Amino acid sequence: MSAPLLELRGLHFGFADRAVLRGADFALHPGERVALTGRNGAGKTSLLHLLVGLRRPSAGQVLAFGEPRRVEADFVPVRARVGLLFQDSDDQLFCPTVLEDVAFGPLNLGRSREQARADAEATLAALGLTGFGERVTHRLSAGEKRLVALATVLAMRPQVLLLDEPTNGLDEAIEAHLLAHLEGLDLAMVIVSHDRRLLVRLATRAVALHEGKLAPATLHSHEHTHRHAHLHLHGPGVDGEAAHTGAAPLHADHHAGE
């Protein structure tokens, strides 16, 4: 197997009141789409943030593209190659208009204003947002903000996507369009989601975060004669029974700092 794009080795991390990761190991290889599962508060969002240096471990190593990353200067080039979709779109959008928000990343990477604008417009069009460029960002619906937030990430042409609840706030039609778009991207991904349909459709493997460590989980779907898709997740702290797609969703972090 090729060398990992991103890797955690014996990572420890916690908050003042509790430990979150206790010697966690993880590796993301080219072409993989990894479903990151676990209960509320397990630390899934924190793990994504650690991968790009938004949080720092108390012990262990973060490696990206074969190099250890320790201080802020180490992570700056990583963020140019790894796109993180935040769980809350308002954490990602801060410019007055949609076009300014989507062009911000490409401009920061050194592209000309003309190229950054062209990249932004092309990314918006690919996500079905043609004509949104001059819209005022804070007046968008929750679903529109979600797609624009993803556009800000994709416009940077990352090699890796870290997706934290990517279908939050989307209606069925927009969600279907988003899934089709993500499915067509030739990018490695780590996906945190309570949406079973997304995980079954996108993920090539799954890991479960439980009591501060990661363990392999089994993610697959099958069809019965009545054509109900089911998801099976087997791993520490994860319910291994078949669950109907219309039942209660998988647990996911919904609190800042988890």
Q: What is the pLDDT of residues 214-253, one digit of tens each?
A: 999 987 654 333 333 344 444 444 433 333 223 223 333 3
Residue 164 belongs to what H/E stretch? strand 160-164
For the entire predicted model, the pTM comes to 0.84
Closest CA to 54 of 68, 69, 39, 66: 69
Enumerate the domain spans of the chain. Answer: 1-81+200-258
Q: Residue with structure tokens 């870290």?
A: 162
Judge whether residue 115 has pLDDT over 90.
yes
Q: For the purposes of burial, counting CB atoms within 10 Å of the CB of 113, is it exposed (0-12), middle (13-18) or buried (19 or more)?
A: exposed
- DSSP labels, 27-86: EE-TT-EEEEEE-TTSSHHHHHHHHTTSS--SEEEEEETTEEE-SHHHHHHHHTTEEEE-
Between helix 142-154 and helix 172-183 the angle, nearest 10°, is: 10
Q: Encode pLDDT of 162-200 as tens digits.
A: 999 999 888 888 888 899 999 999 999 999 998 888 899
CATH number of 1-81+200-258: 3.40.50
